[in-house]
Structure 1
Amino acid sequence: MKELYNALYERINGLDFSRLWPGFKSFRFALYDDEKVLLGEEVFAKDERFIGNTAIMYGDEFLAIWDVSLSPVSDPDIFAVKIIHEMFHAFQRQSGETRWANELSGLKYAYASDNLTIKHRENILLLAAYDGFAPEKLDEFFSLRKLRREKYASEVEYETRIETIEGLANYVELMALCQLSPDKYEKAVAEIKDEIGKVSNLIPIRKVCYYTGALLLIICSENGIPFAHKIGAEEKTFYELVAKDVAAGGISLEMNAEIESLIKKYHDENEKLIHDFIASHPCRLEGKYPLRGLDPMNTIKFGEYLYCKHFISYSDAGALQFVKQPCVVKVDEQFNILALYC
């Protein structure tokens, strides 16, 4: 792991951070596995602070962390810029960023046919604006999103906040990759475009927002549309900062059979997953315990149940408790845990 750490450090240390985002600087980073943590020259036993790939508070500093056991990356250039992504989250937190998405609200996202049909049309318009930029193409994208927001305000709010936090971090990641390898940058953008165009990526919605946010930033950057702002001082989402005051667009909405099939499959699979899990695992906890943490990329909701693939945390008499294995929890409307199965 030390050899890998040094290879990543060398690449990160060679980047010009001033070209990535105003005020952004390098942060320390740690690699860890199931047993140990490597932080610079320090090696110590892994503890409960090290969960996932993210930014954490470590002593009096923010630290980027990466789990090399669960998320190995073979290409050192790609790995280095993924560390940059997590460093940017450290920068966002240090800067007092306030535009974080409500992940519990995201679990309630309405996967309705009309919502996703218009969302898919938006994504296609965004791709068209990148491939052959014209102001009217971007205006049409803004107009369609404004239309969707009239009916699905909380869903669009969730998306735009993910675009602001994760999309911006993804954009910075791509800009770092462009410094390390322009060819790999072009390949990465092509892959992002491919992901944006896939109907299958509309569910769950969170991940595609990383890509739409990053691509919208690239479009603005390449076409002279101002978007730089001081993180921590701005309350508007990135979308709100660049969207023009255009009227909500009209659309002749024809239901998409592929989208309707995707929605049904998603709900059916989630129902079966939770039903089968509860049937095969005992109830370990009953009561009322405030939910404190989960992995939004690996958590699904069906009715009053959540399936958490990796971990969940909750408060018990003021103490933070972790369940670091697949589990199902029954929750109330305020996301208090009423029962836990694992």
Structure 2
Amino acid sequence: MRRLETIDFSILWEGFKPYPFALYTSTEVCLEDKVIPWDTRFMGCTAISYEGSYLAIWNVEMDGVEENVANRDQLVMGIVHEMFHAFQQENNEKRFPMDLVGLNYPDDERNYGLKYVENQILARACREESKQVKQELFSQFYSIRKERERILGDIITYEYRLETVEGIAEYVGLLALKQLDKDQYEERLEDYCKKLETYNALQQDIRRISYFCGPVILTIAKACDLSFWHVLKDEGRPVFQIIGDKVQSEESVSVGYDEMLIQEVVKENRLAKSYQIDAFFKEKAREAIEGRYAISGYDPMNMFKLGNQVYCKNFICVTPLGKEESMMLMGPIVLEMDQDEVKKIYK
């Protein structure tokens, strides 16, 4: 891909380099030098270990990526994002998000309200031209973030890891897009800001919203001369902490938000999840597989937990406890959980 070859990877992230990549559909995989039939190694848009090295992969049929396929520069941005995941894996990145822990992220309305205020501040700071005002807004953001730490406790680490692993990859992809077309870069960044300041179900989808928070945080930090580059294999702190250690902020913060709006979206999200699970069981008689399994592979962007049930839209891999061989089940699938173990599989 010629557009990809024009990118200077050395200025995206020190030490980063291009990796092999593959575009694939549900029937075939296009590698650099050949086309092979699709197999279950190729799932989602990510980076995988392939024939002794790391390979960035992109599903051109996946929901939500059609625009990126039609627009070559946006497609290159996506591929660079996945190449950075290959770079992370090769450099023994330790901060990958704990997605199964993230399934238990609480519906705490105070936390959601503060996070929305936080996101609005990020959007303002990203657009702000004055460096001093950017710094003041970033300090406000940091104070609110520390308050949310007190509310959530350790599970906020799930967000921090998402902003680190996915946020840096998205930021690097944005910088690649900037080299190709500055106007598209600015449009994309503005789109992220609009997502952050618009309250809807996305605001409470912590995994998805982190894809936008992460690169916006890094963009602001860069403009404020807050260094965050680091050697991946040597760093255990999330990028928010790396940046936050350089930010002066207030010990406490008092902010207001529309509590009714937050409550309404929390209720709508719960009803939507409940409806999806009910529709799954009403569609047809479902076979129940009983046993004790560990979840060993999953699509984190297309699964959620409600009560003790986990809905998996696309696929799930489970491994019987005490065994090594896993089995892949194509979705939709509903898992009935007992703590962290699967006790029933409905398909």
TM norm structure 2: 0.92
1:196 match: 196
Count how many residue pairs are aligned between Structure 1 and Structure 2. 333
Kept in 2, the 8 Å contact 1:305–1:328? The answer is yes
Distance 1:224 1:250 in 2: 24
Please, which of 317, 321, 333 is the counterpart of residue 339 of structure 2? 333
Question: Which residue in the other structure is 2:224 paired with?
Answer: 223
Take 1:159 and 1:45, find their aligned partners in 2: how far apart are those partners? 36
Residue number among 27, 31, 41 corresponding to 1:35 in the alignment: 27
DSSP-derived class of the 1:232 partner: helix
Paired AA for residue 127 in structure 2:
D
Q: Greater CA deviation, 256-265 or 282-291?
A: 282-291
Gaps of 5+ in 2: none
Find out whether 1:60 has 2:61 as its counterpart. Answer: no
How is 1:248-327 mapped onto 2 (pairs within 5 angstroms)?
A: 248-253=251-256, 256-279=259-282, 280-316=284-320, 317-327=323-333
Task: Output the CA distance in 2 between the equivalents of 1:164 and 1:47.
Answer: 30
Partner of 1:167: 167
Determine if contact 1:21/1:172 at 8 Å carries over to the other structure. Answer: yes
CA distance in 2, matches of 1:174, 1:49: 27
The whole-number CA distance in structure 1 between the counterparts of 2:37 and 2:315 is 20
Partner SS, residue 236 of structure 1: coil
Describe the SS at the equivalent of 2:178.
helix
Q: Secondary structure at the match of 1:31?
A: strand
> Displacement of 1:283 after TM fit?
2.4
- Asked whether the equivalents of residues 19 and 55 of structure 2 are also in contact (C-alpha less than 8 Å), the reply is yes
Q: Name the aligned partner's letter for residue 119 of structure 2.
A: N
CA contact (8 A) 2:166 2:211 kept: yes
Choose the corresponding residue for 2:115, options 110, 119, 131. 119
Which range moved further: 164-173 or 215-224?
A: 215-224
Decide which moves more: 154-163 or 305-314: 154-163
Q: Distance in 1 between matches of 2:255 and 2:241?
A: 25
Q: Give 1:154 shift.
A: 3.0
Q: Distance in 1 between matches of 2:137 and 2:257?
A: 21
Name the SS for the 2:114 alignment partner. helix
Instruction: Please report how far the alpha carbon of residue 325 of structure 1 lies from its aligned counterpart in structure 2 after TM superposition.
Output: 2.1
What amino acid maps onto 2:107 in structure 1?
A: Y
CA offsets per residue over residues 195-236 of structure 1, 9 Å max, x none? Answer: 111211212111111111101111111221111111111111
| Long gaps (5+) in structure 1 | 1-8
Contact 1:146–1:247 (CA under 8 A) maintained in structure 2: no
CA contact (8 A) 1:81 1:176 kept: yes
- Alpha-carbon shift at residue 28 of structure 1 (Å): 0.2
Distance 1:272 1:20 in 2: 43
Instruction: Give secondary structure in 1 for the equivalent of 2:301.
Output: helix
1:175-186 → structure 2 map (5 Å cutoff): 175-186=175-186
Give the 3 Å change call, closer, same or farther, for CA 254–23 of structure 1 in structure 2.
closer
* Correspondence for 2:211: 210
Q: Which secondary structure does the structure 2 equivalent of 1:37 belong to?
A: strand
AA in 2 matched with 1:64:
A
Does the aligned pair in 1 maintain the 2:24–2:58 contact within 8 Å? yes
Shift of 1:127: 1.8
What is the CA–CA distance in structure 1 between the aligned matches of 2:248 and 2:136, rounded to whole Å? 13
- Kindly indicate whether residue 75 of structure 2 is the aligned counterpart of residue 83 of structure 1: no
Q: CA deviation at 1:52?
A: 0.7
Query: In structure 2, do the counterparts of structure 1 residues 125 and 254 end up closer, same or farther at CA, with 3 Å as the change threshold?
Result: closer
Counterpart contact for 2:126–2:193, Cα < 8 Å: no
Distance 1:330 1:13, change over 3 A: same
Does the residue aligned with 1:248 lie in a helix, a strand or coil?
coil
* SS of residue matched to 1:329: strand
The share of aligned pairs that are identical, in percent, is 32
Kept in 2: contact 1:313–1:323 (CA 8 A): yes
SS of the aligned residue for 1:319 comes to coil
Deviation at 1:47, TM superposition (A): 1.2
Match of 1:46 among 20, 38, 63: 38
**How many angstroms apart in 2 are the aligned matches of 1:294 and 1:159?**
18
Give the SS at the match of 1:124: helix
